[in-house]
Structure 1
């Protein structure tokens, strides 16, 4: 038998020299093993006050500013839906904040911040052990979005109405990504066979059929944890979606991207112009250049061109970000991504403006949190 200390030493040495290998290969080979062997001992678990239920959730948060009112709002929503939640925190909570969380959850897990959202989801899911296969439903949520930001729709009711094995709030890469300069002639053909198609990981739901599939737990046990966001997306969001589709599981999103063209066509030009003005575009130089060029032309832009511009932004940047104005006010979408606050000055201001105009208890709560965050930057 090799002593444990020696095994750790040799594995540490091997990992420290991993720059000699392609990063993706190192992640695939060592990711989960490195975490399970070296970091999992720092994971702490406590029982919460909520009884077990056949409907479960893992709610992942990174409360670097402490427990927020919006965190508690999400947890109260799950509790109202008779879901027993495992809260996973990638940041230590104060004793006071932890007690508030314990009152709203079935289990609390505090872990090292490794592996992005899929790392946290994995710990929460694996903590359920043999219970997992007998559950009716498992929901995965994280605090990258304010949720529920509006009560015009009930997301879990929408999931139930879909009646699929694997559901997301929204999908990405279902629409082909056009050249921004071709926005006037864009044709939307929503499909799920693009190699990068996936359901966005900030809100996912799995049916009993999925949870009892022997490959589901195996996928999570072997998941190659990484602190590379790009690799986490590829192995996580894309990998999980491809796994579900390849295993014949039914799937869908509560926000139906295929309906966007028809819904936009039903709106008045003045409303379309405002939606176009409020597009949230990040990390896309060509699309931002187009946005800057047409900004002064929106007042005179024909209706079909306005629709084409909006659809181009949605196709290239994803509906979870680009069309937040349309999603929330026209469709009652209950999620609003937080990251535009700190990405660009215009995306930050648009997010604040949207929250202020929404004027719901949840949005005003989020507006306070957003302004507080920005004053600390």
Structure 2
């Protein structure tokens, strides 16, 4: 008896046999040349919306700010949502690509241009083959993933009240690694992220008279150093977490001791309990260092953007992983364990809608082969990562990335 995964894989191969790859490549190059920051994705959204309309989707723009939603109804059956994020990053591109960013200081350094291309191709293929499946297909171009706002804004703007609540969600992300792998995890796959801003208050003055001041720069330096001990000395070895200080700002001139210093840091955790303990440690250390320095007031500590953990529904992910094995080969799908990266995709699930989220490796073969190191982990650490100014996915992953979404959707939609 032919398995459901094999049937879905066969249908996916049929629907994607004649993908317009050159056209999709040109769409990708165009999106890469014209990156747009969070909640400014007007051009990108317009490109996606136009393709959805042409494919026969009921299409809406401006959802949650700049979000795009396409709906294609195909009779009785489950409602499956496919999502791609659309925003770029404030990164100056250094890839040297002929289609490099033309926007000053802005780059698609995380692959969201690739995500939109995959989504457009998958939506068009599924629309062309609508006689092969039953159900409802929701296609979502989501803004502002990088700032952690987009998914929540779309939900707050009536995403499901206006377009219907899906039964299952599917999403994917480009990642470093030799092109041609599709990592899946049946549970936790991405971590939670929390931004923290700290303002250290001192007493400013002339650099020649430090005795008349309370130097917030020195206090901030001690604070940054002390914070590095939270993970190494306050968490058990079995508890995974990362604390990164991403920015320190203070002062205006060489000989002026400023009145305040600002520190921006980020936490990555895989449980709420660890996150709570780390935040308590940050507060305790910040208060202690400021007290020890004689600061005139306590530091300001503010929580910023927060991303939830991404935890796949085991049954849903097993179904999608099975069809990916059928399409691409058993050796291409494996469990990488949870990553420390974060996503706002789970906010679309409202705490109850099952979902599958997986990765598509995208490093060009020649880049991977030239990377220093003998094993996978050494090379993985050496090739350009997401958010790097050198991040440049291989164009060869465009067609496979479309097939992952098409086959995943067909694994969950009812066959005709």
Q: TM-score, normalised by structure 1?
A: 0.29
Higher normalized helix content (fraction of residues): 1
Higher normalized strand content (fraction of residues): 2
Task: Give the structure, 1 or 2, with the largest relative contact order (CA under 8 Å, sep 6 or more).
Answer: 2
Q: TM-score, normalised by structure 2?
A: 0.27
